[in-house]
A and B are shown apart, each in its own frame.
Chain A
Amino acid sequence: MLEIKNLHVSIGDRKILDGLTLTVHDGEVAAIMGPNGTGKSTLSYVVSGREGYDVTQGEVLLNGENILGLAPHERAAKGVFLAFQYPVEIPGVATMTFLKAALNSQRRARGEDELQTPDFMKRVNEAAARLGVVKDMLRRPLNCGFSGGEKKRMEILQMALLEPRLCILDETDSGLDIDALRVVSEGVNALRAKDRGFLVITHYQRLLDYIKPDTVHVMAKGRILRSGGPELALELESSGYKDYIGEAA
């Protein structure tokens, strides 16, 4: 599904990712854990195609195709989805207008028919009900006046609606209380499927109590330093990241 090979990324003359290698298989939930400032968000931006990053070496393959040359919307149409650490507010753009534009742009790019309004509404309402997104939120401009938890729910709602192949969740747990964390995690778990991979980025082990990973990768200083099973997350919980920060220095 996703293969990242020896990825080197700089911003200006500052090196952020330093030979990162990582594979996520179909149906796999892979967790990346690491200290702040390690390059986790950078990785998620580079995979989804944000401008401003110099990829000096390496490849990102999605189902065998190198996607580094594609524009963000082309990657999205191929199934890449990033649930943002900080979803932006967009005043003046109605949430429904945005959702429809996103869904139908992707469908068009894949040569599928656009969804008509009734069908579209039905899908949005179903996803909203599952995620506890109230009607009032859908009527507001995108993410405007939403609490941190509401913004994250909206991210997962979009994920459910767009049915991506690769879901990247960047610190989806940050700013969530326990109840919101449970709702969001259930939303994610409901989307687990054998042809869908997840890259769950988090700083804390807590999220992984709710979204059980198949593999756990420890990232520090721009690369993966250790990989293992769920037990690795528990180990990090007790020992912290200090060993890794030292190791990479």
Chain B
Amino acid sequence: MSDTATSATADLKTAFDAMKDAGARPLRQSAWDAFSREGLPNRRVEAWHYTDLRAALCAVAPLRAAGPATPALARERESCRFVVLDGAFRPDLSDVSALPYGVSVLSLREALACGEAEILAALAGDAEDPTLALNAALMQDGAVLRVSPGCVLERPLEFANFISGGAARSVFTRSLVILGAGARATLLESFTPLERSGSQENHALVMVLGDGAKLDHVATIAPQSEDAVRVVSLLATLGENSALNSFCLVEGGGLLRRQIFATLSGVNADVSFNGASLLRGRDHADTTLVIRHESPGGKSREFFRHIVDESATGVFQGKVSVAPLAQKTDGAMQSKSLLLSDGASMNNKPELEIFADDVVCGHGATCGRLDADQLFYLEARGVPKPRAEALLIEGFANEALERVKDEATRDALAARVAAWLRMREAL
């Protein structure tokens, strides 16, 4: 290991020593041991081939302490919201007094202190990744939510992660949502800096869907400053006949790795992961998915649109693996990228790993520029070129946004895309 890697490891060890007694010691210790075997991933680690986290984290920032007492937190939508600020669950800022019937919430710290086996097992997850292991070793706080079986929630639940500005700090959060059998809910998830900074964030959300449960999930990752390093992971386990429809809007900012690990463990489970990313400047955004079909009759859909401008870099890695048992699996993955400048680049790596014989799986990845025929068509109708380009880019993003079922949420996402484009048009 190089000197910088050694010092990063030493800094992380200091952080681990500070966190190891904050509940669930065995879980933390085994996660730390797993992390220590490999250290921070560099490009020699296959799953991290396009994103060199070790180089980006040569200086590890100290753990963030408590956030401001009375921050001004923006609120975009009506929801039952749980706020995690600077890595700490904040009941004082959350809607804990008006929980919908059938919903219970704990902070991660409380949950770890209780040590309930079901929760600890769910929190641990089963995905293998060094940054996830690091997250489990250092997790500071988060929200743990349970929705009772059969409970149908009208009002969306929301995990809102806020990060203050100022000097660079590290934050590790882990949250959990467990949907009982037949429960239905919408979960919004947001990552928002109160002020942009070079923060180092590692967030994980674990979802456990019981048999027949249905979850709609919409995440937004707001822009951060250019020197920020963020890893945002989603782990989902799906029971029989359960369905997860997930969307994420990434607005870039520094280095971002979004990773999804989904396991379709029950028969006839159905997942759909969708997303749009808007990248400019020197943004680097990596979306990596690992979908594991472990039972028969599963269906998975992945649909991503990447818009890459200036000298930004996008990465899409999607791996769908089908276990020998998982006959009648139906999988389709699509990733399309729109490169808006010569300096923009995109790396696509779709992968299928199929061990069952009776399956239908396909994938497609394309990378292109704005279409000259479409552009001229709009211009010939009187639309000036910058606006015509914006319409086409918006249209490209819309193809992914259309997968969000709720109209109000879709409109809010479209407004963010439009705001991002206005900055481009203004240049």
Contact = CB atoms under 8 A, between A and B. Distances in A.
A101 interface: yes
B265 interface: no
A41 to B, nearest CB: 12
Given A50-B376, A51-B376, A93 B392 contact: yes
B391 interface: yes
Interface string A83-109: 010011011110001100111011001
A49 B379 contact: yes
B161 to A, nearest CB: 29
A73 B383 contact: yes
Interface string B387-406: 11001101111110010000
Interface in A56-99: 71-73, 75-77, 80-82, 84, 87-88, 90-93, 97-98
A102 B383 contact: yes
B380 A72 contact: yes
A101 B394 contact: no
Contacts of A50: 376, 380
A162 interface: yes
Interface extent on A, as a size class? 20 to 34
Nearest to A107: B382
Nearest to A78: B382
A156 B34 CA distance: 66
A101 B391 contact: yes
A185 interface: no
A102 B391 CA distance: 11
B403 to A, nearest CB: 12
Contacts, number: 81
B382 A106 contact: yes
Given A73-B379, A98-B378, A91 B384 contact: no
Contacts of A88: 371, 373-374, 377
A73 B382 CA distance: 4
Contacts of A141: 395
Contacts of B376: 50-51, 72
B44 interface: no
B381 A162 contact: yes
Contact of A91 (B379, B381, B385, B399): B399
A115 to B, nearest CB: 13
A109 B371 CA distance: 25
B379 A71 contact: yes
B387 A101 contact: yes
| Most interface-central of B387, B388, B391, B394 (chain A CB within 10 A) | B391
B381 A102 contact: yes
Q: Lowest 9 A-B CB distances belong to which pairs?
A: A92-B395, A76-B382, A93-B395, A92-B398, A106-B382, A102-B381, A72-B379, A92-B399, A105-B382
Interface of B: 371-374, 376-385, 387-388, 391-392, 394-399, 402
5 contacts: A71-B384, A73-B380, A81-B380, A88-B377, A90-B377
Given A73-B379, A84-B377, A88-B373, 5 more contacts: A73-B381, A76-B381, A88-B374, A90-B395, A92-B399
